[in-house]
Amino acid sequence: MDQQNSLFTLANGLRVAYLRKPGNVAYCGLTINAGSRDDGNLFGLAHFVEHTIFKGTKKRKAWHILNRMERIGGELNAYTTKEETLIYSVFPSGNMSRAVELISDLVCGSIFPEKELEKEKDVVIEEIQSYRDTPSEAIFDDFEDLIFAGSPLGHNILGDESTLESISSKHCMDYIKNLYVPENMVLFAVDSIPAEKFQKLAEQHFNHMNHPLTRPARKQIVPVKRFDIVKDFETHQRHTIIGTQTFGMHDADKYSLLLLNNILGGPGMNSTLNISIREKRGYAYTVESSVTLLPDCGLFTIYFGSDERHAAKCIKLAEQELTGIAEHGLSQNALNAAKKQYTGQLIVSSENPESKALSLGKEILYYNKILTIEEIVKQINAVTNEDIRRMGQMLYEGRSILTFK
């Protein structure tokens, strides 16, 4: 049986993406366009809802929710980002109806019992404190707070202790009523059953949803003045981020930026920053770059942790990599090699079954189509040296710096 993609929309506007493929493991979930940027004044609300949506529905207690998939060897998972929330299950094939019914019960029937919420607040506060005790993670929160100043995107996804304590069951109920609605979600699944059978399950368990989307207009992202800030964090190492705001996921230069990011600090040990800072000089153990693209904006960062003696040298070396690209780009041979490496990495990762399943929902949510690996490779191969040079110039000219010492 070949893999077959099916896309359809329920009568209430819920988009559904289904991939039929042979295998013994199935996936089903919801991608909801609701993340921490929708918290309002209750920082951490989106993440807290994601935590507590498993704590009880009108017909199930918390233990029954978790046991529903675990008793057949499956898992129930969720996570929150700035932009979206994912709720999904991984389970042995032959149990799709169980998964669809349970996920429907969670988003349509959760009651957020106050007693369970109070216990979960302690769990999330511990998570926040653990995060703040890890400078290599905390610095990203602080940098985003600066680079997206005045925007909800700057706030920590986990929230903070003071706002967390004020979140009630009603806040959680209102949040899902307003945002967990058909036009704001995508139901996705991967299994070996016929698409028609999955469509009937989707209609049976989700067609009754009819709440309209109620969301205040998202605040427009504004540029910030460049900064170079050093904060006392009482760390053994210096932790540094160099970064800037970028365009969003729908920009024509998207793949040029993603390719340059992979060249500079991608997962390969042969990334230019890793060679320059770690391999040649031994100034840092970890050095990496990353790009996060949202519908209306993005973020590029370079991160490294180094001994205090080498921090300024690392910053200088990173800036030299950016200026070199901004002024000269790459040789044609280097550009071709970078494309080959990046497309190869993407081809390998595209075969990861869980990653493939989760990407279904996000692609329909943001692009309203499934992006094939062939399309993506074609876009990357079309990137020119001038495209790379322009991206390097944008990153260098817009860079800000935050250091923890």
What SS3 state is found at 260? helix
**Least confident interval from 3-12, 300-309, 325-334:** 3-12
| pLDDT reported for residue 220 | 86
Report the distance separating Cα 359 and Cα 34, nearest Å: 16
| pLDDT reported for residue 399 | 98
Q: How much of the chain, in percent, has pLDDT values that exceed 90?
A: 93
Q: Are 15 and 9 in contact (CB under 8 A)?
A: yes
Residue 67 has pLDDT above 70, yes or no: yes
- Count Cα neighbours of 100 within 13 Å in the Cβ-side half-sphere: 25
Report the distance separating Cα 382 and Cα 380, nearest Å: 5
Task: Name residue 62's beta-bridge partners.
Answer: none
Confidence of residue 95 (pLDDT cuts 50, 70, 90): very high
Q: Are 247 and 298 in contact (CB under 8 A)?
A: yes
Kindly list the structural domains of the chain, giving each domain's residue range(s) and its CATH number in brackets, ordered by start. Answer: 4-206 (3.30.830.10), 228-404 (3.30.830.10)
Q: How far apart are the first and last CA of the chain?
A: 57
Q: Which residues, including other chains, have CB under 8 Å from residue 49's CB and lie 6 or more apart? A: 85, 112, 172, 175, 176
Q: Are 246 and 397 in contact (CB under 8 A)?
A: no
| pLDDT reported for residue 217 | 84
Residue 64 has pLDDT above 90, yes or no: yes
Q: Which residues, including other chains, have CB under 8 Å from residue 338's CB and lie 6 or more apart? A: 259, 262, 263, 330
Residue 141 has pLDDT above 90, yes or no: yes
Report the distance separating Cα 198 and Cα 207, nearest Å: 13
Give, to the nearest 10 degrees, the angle between helix 385-398 and helix 311-328.
140
Residue 73 has pLDDT above 70, yes or no: yes
Residue 393 has pLDDT above 80, yes or no: yes
| pLDDT reported for residue 218 | 86
Residue 132 has pLDDT above 90, yes or no: no
pLDDT in tens, 11-40: 999 999 999 999 999 999 999 999 999 999
DSSP annotation of 279 reads I
Residue identified by tokens 């840092």 is: 284
**Least confident interval from 143-147, 213-217, 342-346, 398-402:** 213-217
Report the distance separating Cα 130 and Cα 144, nearest Å: 19
Report the distance separating Cα 318 and Cα 322, nearest Å: 7
Residue 1 has pLDDT above 80, yes or no: no
Q: What is the pLDDT averaged over residues 119-127?
A: 93
Residue 384 has pLDDT above 80, yes or no: yes
Give, to the nearest 10 degrees, the angle between helix 169-179 and helix 45-52.
100
Report the distance separating Cα 340 and Cα 268, nearest Å: 13
Q: What is the pLDDT averaged over residues 190-213?
A: 96
Strand extents, DSSP E, 64-133: 75-80, 85-92
- Cβ-in-10-Å burial (0-12, 13-18, 19+) of 5 comes to middle
| Assigned token pair, 385 | 């040296």
Q: What is the pLDDT averaged over residues 219-244?
A: 93
pLDDT in tens, 305-323: 999 999 999 999 999 999 9
Mean pLDDT, the chain, rounded, equals: 95
CA proximity to 393, closest of 287, 256, 288, 292: 256
Confidence of residue 280 (pLDDT cuts 50, 70, 90): very high
| pLDDT reported for residue 295 | 95
| pLDDT reported for residue 2 | 62
Residue 236 has pLDDT above 90, yes or no: no
| pLDDT reported for residue 49 | 98
Task: Name residue 87's beta-bridge partners.
Answer: 30, 78
Residue 3 has pLDDT above 80, yes or no: no
Confidence of residue 131 (pLDDT cuts 50, 70, 90): confident
| pLDDT reported for residue 235 | 83
| pLDDT reported for residue 308 | 92
Report the distance separating Cα 274 and Cα 284, nearest Å: 9
Report the distance separating Cα 115 and Cα 62, nearest Å: 12
